[in-house]
Chain A
Amino acid sequence: MAERTIRFRVFRYDPDRDDEPRYEVYEVPYVEKMRILDALNYIHDHHDGTLSYRWVCRANQCGSCTVTVDGKPGPACKTEVPQDAEEITVEPLRVFPVIKDLVTDMERGYDKFLTLRPYLERASKPKRPEIILPEDIERVKEFRSCIECWACVSICPVVHEVWDDYAGPISMRKLAELSMDKRDILDRVSVALVEGMYNCTACKNCWAVCPQEIKIPEKAVEKLRARAIEKGLAPLPPHKVAIASIRNYWNPWMAPRGQRVRWAKHLDLPTSAETMLFAGCSPSLLKQNLVENVVRIFSAMGERIGYLGKEERCCSSPLLRVGEVSLFREMALANIDAMRKAGAKRIVVTCAGCYKAWKEDYREFFGDYGIEILHISEVMEKAIAEGRLKLKRVPENDITVTYHDPCHLGRAGGVYDPPRNVLRSIPGIRLVEMSRNRENSACCGSGGGVKTARPNLATTIGGTRLEMVRETGAETIISCCPWCEQNIEDSIKSGEFPDWKVRDLVDLVSAALD
């Protein structure tokens, strides 16, 4: 049997000798379960021994060999070569300058990191033996498993734009660890605040590339923010407005509670049903069409859907993101309670923020509450597959679209295929992918309270995402998150971009209903 080979396009560049970087292509025989590092070692042994790359342990324990593989950073020794791969591109870590080929200069990262005093500072030497209760170390242990591979920093959309204003995920992880370490005496929370913890968009890219699977946004950044609020140092003023609005109006948009249900007045939806709609604040108040279209789609499928009406409160994802934990608990529990009373067996949401709150955050805080959470795209995908939802070509449908994965639907919920499958079943729609998609999708910039408090940062990050749209040639951007859609629209306006349309998947489907 002829052995199968894979083409590796490897970044080659010596700034001292070459005007420009170039890519060399090497053929490497495929071996079962091989890693990128095996390929690099093969290239070193059989093609070109001068290729510069780092590696030490080959067991995912030291974090030396981190490179960017097809746009995604990670330790080369951990990154598996897909069985069906034909060509793989290997590049150095982003944001760090190249020394040679795949070896980058880590100095800027370490310099920044070291200014944070990333070590335990005690009041005095402890008595021996020191008594430390197991529960006191439980919270810091996960953070201490970090192997300093720098993949998180390399992928972070905020670091990419404004590294000077954000110490990056690796640092937030360390500051969170030390803030939770009872032995430490320094004020780590204030340092985190100064180092830009409110610039994190909670996009979870850092977690998605972390070889140790550390949930930096939720377990580090949001915990630091919560501590800052406890200490009276946070949130930022614009967040305060949103929090006060949620407390009083149950939505972040300063709209009286009654306005929330206006869209549904003429629809006469039942207030209890096995399948309940959680409409969400932004759809209910800012994009009423969207949520009305959800109901239209349900009618088209011949399915009954209930709606809590005035009982529905903000999912409170925005509260949790900025660190307002106590109000989050109150609101979330009220929502769960209302849904239980309504007899919900499953809840359908349309906003990615609501989706993450229900699917991930509520469970993290309150355990399994026994209700299934579905995104509307999952419902539609199933109905289309079963022939219950038929879509037709509409005149405007001869378009090329690209799909932007909302971070809180994709990385948080693993919902990647349903929106794409739905798009593909609309006649006349051609779907093209951006270079970064699915679990490696880039953030639009609006999450984590950034859109509210740092609107310019949000559209700057959005602009970077739009450059990936430009590469595709698509004329319409589809998403499933009102926050993403708003920020992408704002980013288009604030940059030098064509007049792209931004549409929600639901609206597109609704227009194509038979």
Chain B
Amino acid sequence: MHKTIETDVLIIGNGGAGLRAAIEASKANLEVMIVGRTLPGKAHTTMAEGGINAALGNRDPTDSIDEHFRDTVVEGGFLNDQRLVEILVNEVPERVYDLEDFGAVFDRTLDGKIAQRPFGGQSHPRTCYVGDETGHEMIMALTEEVRRRDLPHMDEVIVTRLLTVGKRCVGAFGIDMKSGDYLVFRAKATVLATGGGGRVYKVTSNPEEATGDGYSMAYEIGAELMDMEQVQFHPTGMIFPESAKGILVTEAVRGEGGLLKNIEGERFMARYNPSQMELSPRDVVARSIYSELQAGRGTPRGGVYLDISYKESDQILKKLPRMVKQFRNFADLDITKEPMEVAPTAHHFMGGVRIRVEDNRSTTVEGLYLAGEAEAGVHGGNRLGGNALAETQVFGARAGMFAAKFARMSTKPGVDRGQVEDEAGRLDSLLREGSKPQELRERIREMMWQYVGIVRDREKLHFALGEIERFRVELSQIGVGGGKKYNPEWYDAIVLPHMLATCEAIIRSALTREESRGAHFRSDFPKRDDDKWFVNVNVRKGSGGEMEVFTTPIVTTKLNPTTRSGGPSGRENYQIPRLQVRPRP
């Protein structure tokens, strides 16, 4: 038995992208339904700290949207879909102002404009911020707008699969966690704003629910996943105490002047990227830290130092209040007096569901729109700090708008009862005697961290792929106790297949890309190879149910690498043509 909920536009995910999509879709006078895995305002966006990039030029008038475009593409290893990047940089200023309309309170310059700070890999200070709680402020403002509009939402619903009729997505199947009831959402259009999958890694900044469900559910119904090998390891995660391992230490620490040092007290970034130092792009900093640790120059706990304590303590308190509290609470450490210890942590998936530029729809599935980290193409091989929040707003609004447009023109589809019964049967069948999902979950995360982490090679990846196959066999042995009402063990079992599909997509894509580009580093192919690999790597579900890999050409509009070879980060080998500065729209 299940309950059916009908709506015009179904929004799966109540983070920054989902809420923004819902707001935009509701403007079309359509029914929307926001379905969230958590209580309102608790999604991962609230953990975003450093800021949102928009070339407002408030701090540096020489900044421009073209400069923002250039930084995004260059630091993305030219893997980005440049049409999406253009949309991002063009539209984000207005989306930032939208947030202010909703009630957000950004930090200000003395003359009352939005303040901006420098961030890694960016040529100008353009990251708009609210201390180090930017994501929290955004999710608050979005939640307030959702409340102001009184948009329908169902909280604590775990969506387990998308429903299709033919090649069209017609809604989703989920569980009301509070009652254990099965829910069938029937919708003309569906926006998938499910975030990323950092939890497939043992050490991650991501929250409980970031297990890659969105990628897996979209893949299952025929969507293409692109750039899945591009997993961003944020260079600075906490390493101590154990219970705080992986928790993000915002890039804003470095933006505000934080220095990275090894155990010898050396600012080691000078070895790797002397021109940008601590404010190098994330992939470069993460690999540099990794190299320091490999070379035995890490701290006894296995990290490097990040030191802001030389700055005035009231400035630190004002600009980084959350970091001050976080280290005081978790590590008994006063960052205004002592250096932090940090190491890389799995943070963001640049890859995701491949979308059509014109309407943010899945390239292959009708009625399925993507927003935020669930989508691919904006960030290329390396996401700039501050561009993820930007993506949630720009592409959240677009997904909502185009989903509404599609919903307006289409009739309400039926659902395939067979799919509903299959899914209910699958979920029911997990409630049985069997081996516990928790243990398998932890083995997956450990394996991914060991073999599919910052530095990869063919051997490791092959082994990882074999492991995935072995884990799949074990899946059939899984069983959980208890009932359907708020049963976390059941959810562990439910998301295991999603985790495995996400992992397989990462591994197969990583095996395919025999070069190093962006966050993807192959020690057996340490150089960038534009002759062979100036392409996007994609996966899709093959006719026999197997995962198929295929490549597609990278779309460029304004920027091309002028030389065709490069080192691992490779930036110095590219001549970047100066762009024409266009007036802002």
Contact B112 A56 (CB under 8 A): no
Contact B486 A38 (CB under 8 A): no
Contact A56 B42, CB 8 Å, known A34-B243, A50-B481: yes
Q: Does chain B have a CB within 8 A of A55?
A: yes
Q: Could you mark each residue 80-98 of chain B with 1 if its beta carbon is under 8 Å from any beta carbon of chain A, else 0?
A: 0000000000000010010
Q: Does chain B have a CB within 8 A of A408?
A: no
- A99 to chain B minimum Cβ distance, whole angstroms, is 5
Q: Does chain B have a CB within 8 A of A128?
A: yes
Residue of B nearest to A120 (CB): B103
Chain B neighbourhood of A117, CB < 8 A? 148
Interchain CA distance A419-B3 in the complex, whole Å: 60
- B436 to chain A minimum Cβ distance, whole angstroms, is 6
Chain A neighbourhood of B480, CB < 8 A? 49-50
Interface range for A: 35 or more
Q: Does chain B have a CB within 8 A of A145?
A: yes
Q: Which of B303-311, B325-333, B376-384, B545-553 contacts A (4 or more CB under 8 A)?
A: B325-333
Contact A132 B112 (CB under 8 A): yes
Contact B108 A57 (CB under 8 A): no
Select one of A101, A118, A120, A145 contacting B102, CB under 8 A.
Answer: A120
Interchain CA distance A393-B208 in the complex, whole Å: 59
Q: Which of A61-69, A195-203, A277-285 contacts B (4 or more CB under 8 A)?
A: A61-69
Chain A neighbourhood of B490, CB < 8 A? 50
Select one of A44, A59, A105, A114 contacting B326, CB under 8 A.
Answer: A59
Q: Does chain A have a CB within 8 A of B394?
A: no
Chain A neighbourhood of B133, CB < 8 A? 145
Chain A neighbourhood of B41, CB < 8 A? 62-63, 147-148
Q: Which of B136-144, B221-229, B405-413 contacts A (4 or more CB under 8 A)?
A: B136-144
Chain A neighbourhood of B105, CB < 8 A? 132, 137, 140-141, 144
Interchain CA distance A24-B100 in the complex, whole Å: 48
Q: Does chain B have a CB within 8 A of A16?
A: yes
Interchain CA distance A56-B41 in the complex, whole Å: 11
Q: Does chain B have a CB within 8 A of A106?
A: yes
Interface range for B: 35 or more
Contact A120 B108, CB 8 Å, known A49-B436, A105-B178: no
Q: Does chain A have a CB within 8 A of B74?
A: no
Q: Does chain B have a CB within 8 A of A125?
A: yes
Q: Could you mark each residue 143-165 of chain B with 1 if its beta carbon is under 8 Å from any beta carbon of chain A, else 0?
A: 01101100000000000000000
Contact B147 A114 (CB under 8 A): yes
Select one of A16, A50, A147 contacting B488, CB under 8 A.
Answer: A50
Contact A31 B56 (CB under 8 A): no
- A379 to chain B minimum Cβ distance, whole angstroms, is 32
Contact B144 A118 (CB under 8 A): yes
Q: Does chain A have a CB within 8 A of B363?
A: no
Residue of A nearest to B147 (CB): A119
Select one of A61, A64, A78, A118 contacting B39, CB under 8 A.
Answer: A64
Q: Does chain A have a CB within 8 A of B459?
A: no
Contact A129 B42, CB 8 Å, known A49-B480, A99-B178, A145-B136: no
Select one of B207, B242, B436, B482 contacting A31, CB under 8 A.
Answer: B242
Contact B330 A33 (CB under 8 A): yes
Contact A99 B137, CB 8 Å, known A32-B241, A49-B480, A60-B325: no
Residues of B at the A interface (CB closer than 8 Å) are 38-44, 46-47, 56, 94, 97, 100-103, 105, 107-114, 130-131, 133, 136-137, 140, 144-145, 147-148, 178, 207-209, 241-244, 247-248, 321-322, 325-326, 329-332, 436-439, 442, 480-483, 485-490, 492
- Listed by A's residue number, 14 A-B pairs whose Cβ atoms lie within 8 Å are A45-B438, A48-B481, A49-B482, A54-B39, A56-B44, A56-B208, A59-B247, A63-B42, A106-B39, A118-B147, A125-B101, A128-B94, A133-B108, A144-B105
Top 7 nearest A-B pairs (CB, nearest first) are A49-B489, A50-B482, A120-B103, A119-B144, A33-B241, A131-B112, A52-B486
Residues of A at the B interface (CB closer than 8 Å) are 14, 16-17, 31-35, 37-38, 44-46, 48-64, 78, 80, 99-101, 103, 105-106, 110, 114, 117-122, 125-126, 128-134, 137, 140-141, 144-145, 147-148, 183, 213
